[in-house]
Every structure is written in C-alpha cells, then in structure tokens.
Amino acid sequence: MEKLVALCKRRGFIYPGSEIYGGLQGTWDYGPLGAILKQNIKQEWWKSMVQERSDVVGVDAAIMMNPTVWKASGHLEAFTDPLVECMICHSRFRADKKEEIETHEETHKGESVEWTEPKKFNLLVEAKLGVIEGEKQTVYLRGEITQGAFVNFENVVSSTRVKIPFGVAQIGKAFRNEITPGNFTYRSREFEQMELEYFIEPSDKEGDKWFDYWKDQRMNWYVDLGFDKKKLRFRKHEDSERAHYAKFAEDIEYEAPFGWSEFEGIHHRGDWDLSRHKLQYVGEDGQKFTPWVIEASGGVDRSLLFFLIDSYREDEKRVWLSLNPKLAPYKVAVFPLLANKPELVKRAKRIYEDLKPHFMTAWDDRGNIGKRYLSQDEAGTPWCVTVDFQTLEDSTVTIRDRDTGKQDRFKADSLQSYFLKKLS
Ligand code: ATP
C-alpha cells in the first residue's frame, strides 16, 4: 500500500484533499492521471450498463433532495453504524470493525482498555440550505445515490418506453460521516457510486433469477476489465449486517493488502423503497403492483483503488501498472528519440497531433528515452511510439509494449487503425 500511495502522489493519480491546509480527513483529490482513470471506469460502466442494453436507462439526480426522501427511505432512522469510544484517549471506532479495535488496543499496550457501550451514529451528512439565518433548511447530502432513481420512478416510466423488467442506472457522488475513514481512499467521507436499480415483477422466482443474473454480470465486468479472478469473491451478508432495506445481499470483495474488502454490493431490496415512497407500476393488464428491486451498487473510488492495486507490477528494473488499455489514462505516448534533432521532433509532433483527437496521447521529450519509458510505465500507458532516424528513411516507428517491454517497427501512417483495433 505504501508503494502504491507514493506512486499515486508522484504520478498524479490521487492527492490528499486540501493538502496545503493540512488536509480534510476522509477526502481525496484526483490528479491529472487519476481524473482520467476515473472517467474511463465510469465510461466503461455506463457503456455496459446503459449503452449496450435496451432495458436500462440512465438518470443524473440532484445530490440534495427534499429531506422527506430520507425519512421515507428509512435512512434518518436506520442509516447508522455502531460507534464505541476508547475511554483512555476518546478515539472513536465502529464497534463492528473488530480488527480496527484490536489495532487500537495495541497502541495502549500494558493498559486495560475500556470501551463505551455501542451508540447508534447516523451517517448522513447535514447541510444548511437558504439565505436567511434562522430560516435555513437542514438538508442531507445523499448518503447513497440510490434514492434519486426511486423518486424518479414515475417520471422515467412515463417519459420513456421502459417496461418491467427494466433498470435505472446512475453515477454520482455520495457522502457519509464515516466514523473511521481510512485505508487510503477505501473509506472516504465523499465518494462516488455507480448503481443500477433493476425493477422486476414481485415474485421469489423473479427475485432469485435476477439476483443471480446481476451477480454474474457484475463479477464478469470486473474480470473482463482485467482483475485477477483469484483475488475476487462473493460474500453473503449475515442477517445481522444486512442494511435495513435489504431482503438479502452479497458483496463482491477484493483481496486487498488490508484484507478481503467489499467494493460492490448486490442487494435484493424487495419492495422496500417503492412502497415507502408509495410508488406503483401499472402492468400490461392494467393491474397495479409494487415492483421489487435488485440493486448493483459499486464504488467508483474503491474499484479505482483496486484496479490500481491489482495492476501494480515491479521487477528489479521498473514499476509498471498493467491496466487494461481501455482504462489506462493515456493510451499512447509519442517521443522523438533525441530532443535536439529538429527533424525527429517535427515528425514526432506530427504523429502526436494526428493521434490526439482519437486517443489520450502523451508527449515527452525530456531526458533520455529510457527514463521516458519508465515514466509512462508508472502511468500505465500501454504503448510508446518512438520516432528515430529510420523513421525519416522508411516512415516506420517503434511501438513499445508496456507489459513485455518489447519493441516492434510499424508503419507510421497506420498507427491510428492499429491502436483502434487494439482498443476494440
Ligand atoms: P461498508 O460496509 O464498507 O461501510 P457499505 O456496505 O455501507 O460499505 P454500501 O452502502 O453497500 O456500502 O455502498 C455501496 C458501495 O459504495 C460500496 O460497495 C462501496 O464501493 C461504496 N462505498 C460505500 N461507502 C464508501 C466509503 N465510505 N468510501 C468509499 N466508497 C464507499
């Protein structure tokens, strides 16, 4: 983890939030490479969940909602974690995170640590809306993006041609007053979710069928994007840990350096939400009923972190990120072999300008070529194109592959189609 956190800072993937003012616990800023990686993850998700399907539409709901939403959804009452306080130093922890509690007790070696009784702590972040002091309305920054899909259920049904079974997909920010943010971006107070709410007929048969279907779809999506299968698993929620809305739930977990950790939840929400919001669907036969919901709720930040961890490679010579090219922030980097030879620079610049409208393309003419390769390896750039003296004679360039370090010569005027094919 230490190596990865350092690489993220060094290369501009992730910085601590508000760093020059001492930071703000549980917040992170994505740098130039991290911002693109995040976009790419979201784009791939949207492509597979919305673009490639005919039964899913997307929404982008407001972060601030009428507070009644959170009353109806049960979050004001039940969106809580159990909090305990160390009676020696008053540090607070989640009572259900045994490992964190044990680690803390280690810091008081030799003393007997006593804890307060677990208290319910609501995770919703409050904000004040309005301009007149004393008349400001308390609103909540959404604790899950989910409710935006439910409150627009009728709007979506009446403004599109969806018919049950159908899904509403959304990507956006969520906020939680996490008691103990930590493990880098894994537990943040501001984070992004990518979620599907899939509405089905209310029957156990349909519920089981679609729950299994979405479990498979979501696991395959991660595997297709390059995750090491052995490091992924499903974990069923025990009755005691299930969220207030869930009939049953399974997490997709990754074996992180800090242990098996959830980064997506597949939840059977039954009719909890729609019935709480008093929303119904009119079937083909004119019958009204309350659909059930299967949810796939993934974290953008957690999957980004795990994509980085999973693709981190090192040997005695170099460090590289073997990210799937679809996710890699830059697809190609273009270099002139020598920066002080104007004819090489001119030719390389032309190739760079030609590729730029089609792919995120990096340019580098600093230092020696070896250092430039190492720098692109750390950024996860799959291909480096170098213009050398042979280019001036026969219009071929070298393409270096990030994972193998091997170079092949290739025609300069076919680069665009070559990379397009690789990325398809
Ligand atoms: P945990 O048990 O780790 O607190 P959760 O079960 O409360 O997570 P869900 O409410 O199911 O999480 O949220 C769905 C997804 O949103 C999670 O799988 C995760 O990827 C993401 N997520 C939730 N909380 C956070 C957080 N504090 N920081 C980053 N991502 C989060």
Distance 142 CA to ligand 1 centre (A): 13
Is the bond leading into 329 cis (omega within 30 degrees of zero)? Answer: no
Greatest C-alpha distance within the chain: 78
CA–CA distance, 196 with 264 (Å, rounded to integer)? 11
Q: Tens digit of pLDDT per residue, the chain (424 long)?
A: 999 999 999 999 999 999 999 999 999 999 999 999 999 999 999 999 999 999 999 999 999 999 999 999 999 988 888 899 999 998 889 898 888 899 999 999 889 899 999 988 899 999 999 988 888 899 999 999 999 999 999 999 999 999 999 999 999 999 999 988 999 999 999 999 999 999 999 999 999 999 999 999 999 999 999 999 999 999 999 887 777 877 889 999 999 999 999 999 999 999 999 999 999 999 989 999 999 999 999 999 999 999 999 999 999 999 999 999 999 999 999 999 999 999 999 999 999 999 999 999 999 999 899 999 999 999 999 999 999 999 999 999 999 999 999 999 999 999 999 999 999 8
- C-alpha pair distances (Å), 335 with each of 128, 263, 329, 344, 362: 52, 38, 17, 9, 9
Closest ligand 1 atom to 81 CA = 4
Residue 303 alpha carbon, nearest atom of ligand 1 = 20
> Which residue's CA is the closest to the ligand 1 atom numbered 1?
262
Q: Which residue has the tokens 């993934």?
A: 298
* For ligand 1, atom 22: residue with the closest CA: 299
Whether the Cβ atoms of residue 188 and residue 300 lie closer than 8 Å to each other:
no
The angle subtended at Cα 83 by Cα 82 and Cα 88, nearest 5°, is 150
Atom of ligand 1 nearest to the CA of 261: 3
| 2-79+123-311 to CATH, choices 3.30.420.40, 3.30.930.10, 3.40.50.10490, 3.40.50.150 | 3.30.930.10
Q: Which residue has the tokens 């390769």?
A: 373
H or E element, residue 264? strand 259-270
Q: How far is CA 200 from CA 125, 144, 205, 283, in A?
A: 31, 21, 10, 11
| Core vs surface per residue 160-187: b (16+ CB within 10 A) or e | eebebbbbbbbbbebbbbbbbbebbbbb
Residue nearest to atom 7 of ligand 1 (CA): 243
State the DSSP H helix or E strand holding residue 243, giving kind and residue range, or none if neither.
none
Contact 34, 13 (CB under 8 A): yes
Q: How many CB atoms lie within 10 A of CB 38?
A: 20
Which SS3 state, helix, strand or coil, does residue 132 take? Answer: coil
CATH of the domain spanning 332-423? 3.40.50.800
- Extract the tokens encoding 54: 């005919």
Q: Which residue has the least CA distance to atom 13 on ligand 1?
A: 297
Question: Kind of pairing, strands 396-401 and 407-411?
Answer: antiparallel
Same fold, 2-79+123-311 and 332-423: no
Query: What is the model's pLDDT at position 42?
Result: 98
Tell me, in angstroms, the distance from the centre of ligand 1 to residue 248's CA: 16
CA 272 to ligand 1 centroid distance, Å? 19
The C-alpha atoms of residue 183 and residue 251 are separated, in whole angstroms, by 18
Q: What distance in angstroms lies between residue 174's CA and the mean position of ligand 1's atoms?
A: 10
**Can you tell me the distance from the alpha carbon of 382 to that of 399, in angstroms, rounded to the nearest whole number?**
10
Residue nearest to atom 11 of ligand 1 (CA): 265
* Nearest by Cα to 336 from 290, 294, 368, 358: 368
Distance CA 70, CA 104 (A): 34
Ligand 1 atom 6: residue of nearest CA? 265
Contact 381, 324 (CB under 8 A): no
Given ligand 1 and candidates 75, 97, 187, 233, which is best to mutate, with the most ligand atoms within 8 Å of its CB? Answer: 187
Calpha distance 384→94 (Å, rounded): 47
Phi/psi of residue 271, nearest 5 degrees: -105, 15
In whole angstroms, what is the distance from residue 206 CA to residue 214 CA? 12
**To test ligand 1's pocket by mutation, which of 262, 306, 307 has the most ligand atoms within 8 angstroms of CB?**
262
pLDDT recorded at residue 244 = 80
Q: Alpha helices of 189-290 — where are they, by DSSP H?
A: 204-224, 272-276
Query: What pLDDT shows up at residue 240?
Result: 78
Distance 305 CA to ligand 1 centre (A): 13
Strands 56-58 and 166-175, by their bridges, are parallel
Annotated domain spans of the chain: 2-79+123-311, 332-423
Distance between CA 415 and CA 348 in Å, rounded? 12
- Residue for token digits 């920066």? 339
Question: Ligand 1 pocket check: which of 194, 297, 306 to mutate, most ligand atoms within 8 Å of Cβ?
Answer: 297
Report the separation in Å between the CA atom of 143 and the middle of ligand 1, taken as the mean of its atom positions.
10
Atom of ligand 1 nearest to the CA of 249: 11
pLDDT for 98 equals 86
Q: Cβ atoms within 10 A of the Cβ of 397, count?
A: 26
Residues with CB under 6 A from ligand 1: 144, 176, 178, 187-188, 191, 193, 262-265, 297-299, 301-302
Specify whether the CB–CB gap between 97 and 259 falls below 8 A: no
For a mutational test of ligand 1's pocket, the pick from 80, 97, 124, 193, i.e. the residue with the most ligand atoms closer than 8 A to its C-beta, is 193
Structure-derived torsion over alpha carbons of residues 370, 375, 380, 382, reported in degrees to the nearest 10: -30
Residues 6+ apart with CB under 8 A from 270: 202, 207, 245, 246, 247, 292, 293
The number of residues in the chain equals 424
| Alpha carbon distance 86, 264 (integer Å) | 31
Nearest residue (by CA) to ligand 1, atom 23, is: 299
Atom of ligand 1 nearest to the CA of 299: 20
Nearest residue by C-alpha to atom 3 in ligand 1: 262
